[in-house]
Amino acid sequence: MMLRFQRRIAAPLALLHSGLSDRERERAWHAARSGRARVVVGTRSALFTPLPRLGLILVDEEHDLSFKQQEGFRYSARDLAVIRAQRSGCPVLLGSATPSLESLNNALRGRYGHLRLPERAGGAHAPRLDLLDIRSARLDGGLSPVMLRLTGEQLQAGNQVLLFLNRRGYAPVLTCYDCGWVAECGRCDARMTLHLQSRLLWCHHCGSQRRLERRCPECGGGEVHPMGQGTERLAETLGQRFPDVSLVRIDRDATRRKGSLERLLGEIREGRHTLLLGTQMLAKGHHFPDVTLVGILDVDQGLFGADFRAAERMAQLITQVAGRAGRAEKPGRVVIQTRHPDHPLLHTLVRQGYDAFARMALTERRETQFPPFSHQALLRAEAHDERLPRQFLELAMALGRELAARDVEFWGPVPAPMERRAGRYRAHLLVQGAERARLQRLLARWVPRLPDLEGARRVRWSIDVDPQEML
């Protein structure tokens, strides 16, 4: 993005993100504060940069979950961008091919202006989307025979193929066939992911690692076996099926070294790699004009997630990945492997597009009174003792009910979906109100009194307004 701005805008620019050194960030901050830098390009924290003559705020991919700071100081950069623009008296543009349901609802209600771009850049045609039923298919490394055939045809024609699997590592499960042992994290209620290249078992939630053992640590019997696919295992399978094709893998493990991601993306654009495999790092914002086939290998978990936003996230991801196909003169095709080809949400998305899906999802949200038709705050508590978070939240709920208006509801307390994480037990209390003003009035009276509750100092607690994840 920085390169694109530099090519098109003559004014001085400043770049701000966490990957910079302290000196680089300080230099960019002072350039913005003094007015020397006329444009600031950055991640969510760049929103707090002082700009003496702020005239426009652009939020690209406004739906993206990364705009919400989840730890420490919690805030939504997208929502704060709207507030900062309002106070500065300047316009704010929220851009996305897959707008969040909150932003789309604001546009439909007339609170936001709604600017549509119905045509693709450069006159390219929208790709064809197809559902591929894999219920009875014998998969090879997560790939169906049809997907392998389509991939081979496009590679033979000299085109590029992108295969998307949003799961890094070699396999998400390591198990013993003799006794049923499964490699689990000792600090989280989660299974450890096998990373075969480094011969490590890795918890993707707390970061703990341990060396891979050849034999089962439970029964000492036969060898342990990986189950499921990650990008590392998929790359191995593709290398065996297409040995003469240049393959590149783009995920967090393959791009750890500074500059490696930029180098690999440049090689893709130059045509040095024809088979592209990656996670969501490869899904958004990239222009690969020779990609004619995009294969999406595993999206079914988004159809039945416990979070009410799971289907929205799934639809956004599918649409974003699909946007990598057919971006120039060559027509594109997107094939989605699924074991639920009759699911109505998938059918609406594939046949009618994201806009129809979003309107359908908004109707469901309205009927269930979930956001954006209500407003939420999540009180989280955690401790090393399993009982303490629940006890604290019970007292917090009793206090909240004394202070709340009638139309404010308290749900819980309940254990978090992943109750134990990094050695601490976690529980949630969800507060929901039909009107934001009443919920805010409750929070203004309730939160200052929480530190005085019995047991408050024995737990780590936090309040998250408009929570985007319930994990």
Which domains are seen in the chain, by residue range?
Answer: 2-108 (3.40.50.300), 121-168+229-366 (3.40.50.300), 172-227 (no CATH), 375-465 (3.30.70.600)
What's the pLDDT at 324? 77
Amino acid (one-letter) located at 3: L
**3-state SS string for 28-79:** HHHHHHHCCCCEEEECHHHHHCCCCCCCCEEEECCCCHHHEECCCCCEEHHH
Q: How high is the pLDDT of residue 300? A: 83
With 0-12 CB in 10 A as exposed, 13-18 as middle and 19+ as buried, what is 123?
exposed
Outline where DSSP puts E strands in 243-328: 247-250, 275-278, 291-296
pLDDT of residue 327: 67
pLDDT value at position 470? 81
Taking the C-alpha atoms of residue 269 and residue 273, their distance in angstroms, rounded to an integer, is 8
pTM attached to this predicted model: 0.87
- Phi and psi (nearest 5°) for 139? -90, 145
Hey, what's the torsion of the CAs at 16, 263, 297, 131, to 10 degrees? 90
Alpha carbon distance 448, 464 (integer Å): 14
Contact 277, 247 (CB under 8 A): yes
Q: Which of 440, 441, 462 lies closest to 450, judged by CA?
A: 462
pLDDT, tens digit only, all 471 positions of the chain: 888 899 999 889 999 998 888 999 999 999 999 999 999 999 999 999 999 999 999 999 999 999 999 888 889 999 999 999 999 999 999 999 999 999 999 999 999 999 998 877 666 677 888 899 999 888 888 899 999 999 999 999 888 899 999 889 999 999 998 888 999 999 999 999 999 988 999 999 998 999 988 888 888 877 889 998 899 999 999 999 999 999 989 888 888 887 788 888 888 888 889 999 988 887 776 777 788 899 999 888 778 777 889 889 999 988 888 877 776 677 888 999 999 999 888 889 989 999 999 999 999 999 999 999 999 999 999 999 999 999 999 999 999 999 998 889 999 899 999 999 999 999 999 999 999 999 999 999 999 999 999 999 999 999 999 999 887
Q: Rounded CA gap, 401 and 406, in Å? A: 9
Q: Which two tokens stand for residue 333?
A: 């095709």
The two structure tokens encoding residue 317: 């991801």
